[in-house]
Amino acid sequence: MERPSRLLLLSELRVRNAAHSVSLSRSLLTWKRRGSSPLYHPFRPRFCLPRLRRRSDSGSCHIVPVSEIISVREEDEENGSGRRDDGSWKKIKERDVKDCRQAFTVLYVERSGQHRWRCAEVTFTCSDTTLCQRWISNIREQLAAIASRPRRLLVYINPFGGKRQGKRVYEQKVAPLFLQAGIFTDVIVTEYANHARDHLRTEAELKQFDGVVCVGGDGMFSEIVHGLIWRTQIDGGVDVNCPDEALLPCSLRIGIIPAGSTDCICFATVGTNDPVTSALHIIVGDSQPMDVCSVHHNNTFLRYSVSLLGYGFYGDVLTDSERKRWMGPARYDFSGVKMFLTHHYYEGTVSYLPARGILGTPRDTARCRSGCVVCQRNGQLLSERAERYETDEGPDGETEREWRTIRGKFLAINAASMSCACPRSPKGLSPAAHLADGTTDLILVRKCSRFDFLRHLLRHTSKDDQFDMTFVEVHRVRRFRFAPRHCQSDSDLELDLQENGKRQIFSQICRDHPACGCAPSYSSWNCDGEILTHTAIDVRVHCQLVKLFARGIEEPAVFEDLTNPCAI
């Protein structure tokens, strides 16, 4: 429960020529039309503001948390003639012009449904210039005191992501907002793949920035994650090739302005893939920690993953779709249908270390939302465990006997470190997965009929449980390994030969003679939209390794008269 803090200012100001009682405390800006019920007294008992309830309209009463004010603009003489601080022009009513010498405009976040945020503004007209200046400087002081807000950002734009709109989106929708909020930016338009990653790793002078922003899709975000993690480990002397090494968390936050084909990271951390919403989350200085999986092959680092590691169906969809980049985002649907019809399955061994002693399971009905308790609690538990490891236990408190092994034929092996919600599947691959709980959900879809696989896929788009099927299993894990059948150890192969001597020999022959039309033995790993070079991998989740300018998906606000300060 939040108690109202002491009022800094309380004045009668005019909004659209109507008298309003306007107050500013350390946490809230409120304005209420005079003549309706009186302005609430801040020390009156029973006032509380639920964490997710940010703004309330009751008649003409408005409440804006100071943390969601973007900026305050003085409407001086020049502005009175219709000119904004950023040089652009705005329509201004004649009535307002005569008052503009003593007016100021507050820009703030307004929610507009489906997790979208908009920049709204309100102009207050004061009776005298001194009062106007007091209001402006008080609000500016409050904003300057918010340490979590970024002042300087390094921005990378991929001009070729998604529908190739990245540059236009940034220039038209995002840059004007950053300017209003007084954020300085260094902008780099990338010239080739991995430009941003390599610039971050070796050249960028990161000390002067409060965050890094990428304009593009999940692939672009992945570049930033790789650049920042590498840089942090190099600076901290961590050997990234060793899968058992604990990685150092990155201090700079990352912002995503969505302009890609899937935008699943943005969707899962903000709730929508809208560039203005993301820009506003960056401006208000939100922070959302996120798990990162490291992927190794034979003690060699391959890649990091934050969303999906998928072998079989999603690996094949990606491989096929890469040849059709010219189709834009539709390439995934085309390749999806093609790979569905192809219906390949793959044999291999999956071993995993179940996540024990933490909150949450993959079949929970609760979802990871803003301020998620599961993520907070598990983050604490895992860091306490890591501290203990410094003295006695094994990494992640693991022991060899806790590992489980499953052999089989799989249509898909997916590890979802977050829900992977996206416009194609608003609940995602693993709806109950958490952004920052230190685990990934390992989903095994065994060989089944096309019809059953279609039923499973369709459930990603409806309320039905995609895991409630006999050929699907899901495990929440801290680590896992995969070895395709023909890549198994010598002893495993020997066992296979004894068990299935003939079949093994025929499958070998068929691999060498593709003309016989039998299924391929190997798929590829789709690692956040990039194809991995190896099929045998060792994956480990690193809890809360990076932070985003986001706050997780907000629950819809509940408005109650009792909790509405304007109604008291």
Ligand X SMILES: Nc1ncnc2c1ncn2[C@@H]1O[C@H](COP(=O)(O)OP(=O)(O)OP(=O)(O)O)[C@@H](O)[C@H]1O
Integer Cα distance of 83 and 425 in angstroms? 44
Q: How far is CA 321 from CA 193, 305, 315, 338, 339, in A?
A: 17, 19, 10, 10, 10
465 as an active site residue: the answer is no
Min dist. Cβ of residue 344 to Ca ion (A): 28
Partner in contact with 417, chosen from ligand 16C, ligand X, Ca ion, none, beta carbon below 5 to 8 Å by kind: Ca ion
What are the b/e assignments for 341-373, b being 16+ CB within 10 Å? eeebbbbbbbbbbbbeebbbebeeeebbbbebe
Q: Identify residues 156-185 at the interface with ligand X (CB under 6 A).
A: 158-162
The yes or no reply on residue 149 touching Ca ion (CB under 5 A) is no
Identify which range of 255-263, 367-375, 439-447, 507-515 contacts ligand X by CB under 6 A. 255-263
Listed in sequence order, the residues at least 6 apart from 566 whose beta carbon sits closer than 8 Å to its beta carbon are: 30, 32, 37, 39, 40, 56, 58, 59, 61, 63
Min dist. Cβ of residue 327 to ligand X (A): 11
Identify which range of 109-117, 130-138, 152-160, 205-213 contacts ligand X by CB under 6 A. 152-160
Q: How far is CA 319 from CA 292, 294, 430, 511, 559, in A?
A: 23, 21, 22, 19, 48
Among 56, 142, 190, 272, the residue binding ligand X under the rule CB under 6 A is 190
Among 32, 53, 434, 478, the residue binding Ca ion under the rule CB under 5 A is 434
Residue type, 106: V
3-state class percentages of the chain: helix first, strand second, coil last, to nearest 5: 35, 30, 40
Active site residue: 210, 218, 263, 286, which one? 218
Identify which range of 2-10, 244-252, 423-431, 464-472 contacts ligand 16C by CB under 6 A. 423-431
Integer Cα distance of 417 and 307 in angstroms? 5
Integer Cα distance of 512 and 132 in angstroms? 81
The yes or no reply on residue 308 touching ligand 16C (CB under 6 A) is yes
Q: For 365-409, give the secondary structure using H, E and C.
A: CCCCCCCCHHHHHHHHHHHHHHHHHCCCCCHHHCCHHHCEEEEEE
Partner in contact with 398, chosen from ligand 16C, ligand X, Ca ion, none, beta carbon below 5 to 8 Å by kind: none
Among 167, 195, 377, 424, the residue binding ligand 16C under the rule CB under 6 A is 424
Nearer to ligand 16C, 153 or 213 (CB): 213
Partner in contact with 291, chosen from Ca ion, ligand 16C, ligand X, none, beta carbon below 5 to 8 Å by kind: Ca ion
Nearer to ligand X, 69 or 306 (CB): 306
Q: Which residues bind ligand 16C (CB under 6 A)?
A: 217-218, 262, 264, 307-308, 314, 317-318, 332-333, 336-337, 340, 420, 422, 424-425, 429, 454, 457-458, 460-461, 526, 528-529
Active site residues: 218
Q: Which residues bind ligand X (CB under 6 A)?
A: 158-162, 190-195, 216-220, 223, 260-263, 529
